[in-house]
Amino acid sequence: MSPTRVTREHNPLRDPRDKRLPNIAGPCALVLFGVTGDLSRKKVMPAIYDLANRGLLPPGFSLVGFARRDWADQDFGQIVHDAVREHARTPFRESTWQALAEGFRFVPGNFDDDEAFDLLATTVEELEHERGTGGNVGFYLSIPPGFFGQVCRQLDRSGLAKAEDGQWRRVVIEKPFGHDLASARELNAIVEGVFPADSVFRIDHYLGKETVQNLLALRFANELFEPVWNAHHIDHVQITMAEDIGVAGRASYYDGIGAARDVIQNHLLQLLALTAMEEPVAFTAQHLRAEKEKVLASVRLMDDLSTSSARGQYAPGWQGSDKVKGFLEEDGMKPGSRTETYAALKVEVDTRRWAGVPFYLRTGKRLAKRVTEIAVVFKKAPHLPFNDTETEELGQNAIVIRVQPDEGVTLRFGSKVPGAQMEVRDVTMDFAYGSSFTETSPEAYERLILDVLLGAPSMFPRTQEVELSWQILDPVEEHWAKDGAPQPYPSGSWGPASADEMMALDGREWRMP
């Protein structure tokens, strides 16, 4: 796709002065809070093993678990072992495992336990001398946001958050980054009251996916695309994140949050920013973030949110051949919940490049299939020297960036059908990572955890981005709070009728991925 050399380990968003391929983390340790949770078990622990298996962690790398469990170091090691065996992307190698396991430590305790955090501080100091971590420590808060403040204050009290000269201390937090603008500001104040802003890494795993990063290469490394990436040629943009699963097992977490807060505020607005941003001066964190923030500051909601937004809630239906429950029937769900499981929104970006081009965002659970994509749909040719019959099956050109599950890029354009008559029909040209490269893509958490250890913050939203995103979404949430219950839609469908009606008002329709 690009005339420049493409390698798996090269991240074009890192400092271009750094010529190491691959980038290997220096001496360090990672403290993992929330080791018993699904995220740690399914994503974080396997990603750490995969990084070690690829030779991207230093020999003395150490992993410290902190949880309310009466475990010894070897018990924690068994938890990591089981998670790696079940979820790691790369093959299990005994030599890799043994080297990694030598650096495992476990500290039992509660978040309000001063003695436990003092023991954690002692453990970190011991690792500096025993394992050569250099006193460099990352703190991964794989815990509910309600505990961020308590843990940060304990890290501050115990001296763990303070880096000596030549050392670093960083904190990693998972979404949601607040519940609205006010709570996001409060959360940011708490975390950044303990850690400097450039030491706070907010994980959005979508930004670690190969295709999301390839979007920037697609745009800025190819003269083929960038000249037409504007309102003169583009009709509209659709950004979709569809899931075919429900909220089983997460009902208590999901109720009161909903699809818009869970996905649009972070994932989809970040994808919008990367799609619409201007070319940065350089691919450094400072310049990349600045361009994304310009886009988010330029996003404008439509005047009438009743016709430019839609929300729904999945009802019983069929997911493939399986009959599934509705949202209100899920275990642990409050009767009569008005939390939406589907959200769609129309916005515009008030810049010269995008003047008049609508961006349609949609996300939902229990939809027809699992897919995340960015579809850039072009205007029709201003003049077609064909009659209607010859082009009746011709749609609009499109560039579709597939983020998951089948990462790649598809171009849709018109081509003549073989035969004696002139008939033009849509065809596609496809690029897939799986078939174009011999090495498989790293998981998003591999890339992002490595970037934390390297101190490469390009793909991590900073405070301004988070707050701008909430400024966009808060008015929508306030409108919905006054607008009654979300519209039911059958499980296995593509969402509520109101979302289709929203598109129909503009003379458009949703893509069927």
Tens digit of each residue's pLDDT (9 = 90 or more) over 371-424: 999 999 999 776 455 545 444 455 788 899 998 888 888 887 666 667 656 566
pLDDT at position 396 is: 80
Rounded distance, CA 499 to CA 310, Å? 5
Place of tokens 């100091």: 125
pLDDT at position 460 is: 83
Q: Same structural domain for residues 191 and 253? A: no
Residue at 445 is within a domain: no
Which of 206, 226, 249 lies at the terminal end of a domain, its last residue?
Answer: 206
Assign residue 293 the CATH number of its domain: 3.30.360.10
Judge contact between 156 and 436, C-beta under 8 A: no
Which of 206, 224, 241 lies at the terminal end of a domain, its last residue?
Answer: 206
pLDDT at position 9 is: 39
Q: Which two tokens stand for residue 141?
A: 């808060």
pLDDT at position 192 is: 92
Residue at 293 is within a domain: yes
Rounded distance, CA 398 to CA 428, Å? 9
pLDDT at position 18 is: 46
pTM reported for the whole predicted model: 0.87
Residue at 405 is within a domain: no
Positions annotated as catalytic residues are: 267
Residue at 447 is within a domain: no
Which of 189, 206, 223 lies at the terminal end of a domain, its last residue?
Answer: 206
Q: Same structural domain for residues 160 and 94? A: yes
Residue at 428 is within a domain: no
Q: Same structural domain for residues 356 and 280? A: yes
Q: Same structural domain for residues 126 and 232? A: no
Q: Same structural domain for residues 213 and 339? A: yes
Residue at 378 is within a domain: no
Residue at 133 is within a domain: yes
Residue ranges for the chain with pLDDT beneath 50: 1-20, 383, 387, 389-392
Give the number of other CB atoms < 10 A from CB of residue 145.
17
> What's the per-residue H, E or C state across 160-220?
CCCCCCCCCEEEEEECCCCCCHHHHHHHHHHHHCCCCHHHEEEECHHHHCHHHHHHHHHHH
349 has which bridge partners?
299
Using alpha carbons, list the distances in angstroms from residue 389 to 73, 100, 386, 416. 73, 66, 8, 13
359 has which bridge partners?
237, 347
Rounded distance, CA 342 to CA 315, Å? 11
Q: Same structural domain for residues 122 and 34? A: yes
Q: Same structural domain for residues 58 and 166? A: yes
CA dihedral of 374, 292, 259, 400, whole degrees rounded to 10: 0
* SS3 category, 62: strand
Domain extent at residue 305: 209-373+460-504
Place of tokens 């995008």: 354
Q: Same structural domain for residues 246 and 313? A: yes
For residue 194, give the nearest of 177, 169, 174, 176 by alpha carbon: 169
Q: Same structural domain for residues 299 and 368? A: yes
Q: What are the backbone dihedrals phi and psi of residue 297, each rounded to the nearest 5 degrees, phi first? A: -70, -20
Q: Same structural domain for residues 86 and 41? A: yes
Q: Which two tokens stand for residue 295?
A: 């886009």
Q: Same structural domain for residues 170 and 222? A: no
Residue at 404 is within a domain: no
- Chain-centre distance of CA 9, in angstroms? 20
Place of tokens 């039911």: 488
Give the number of other CB atoms < 10 A from CB of residue 103.
22
CA atoms in the 13 A half-sphere facing the CB of 425: 7
Structural domain count of the chain: 2
Kindly provide the residue ranges of all beta strands, DSSP E only, lying in 35-142, ordered along the sequence: 62-67, 104-108, 137-141
Q: Same structural domain for residues 193 and 220? A: no
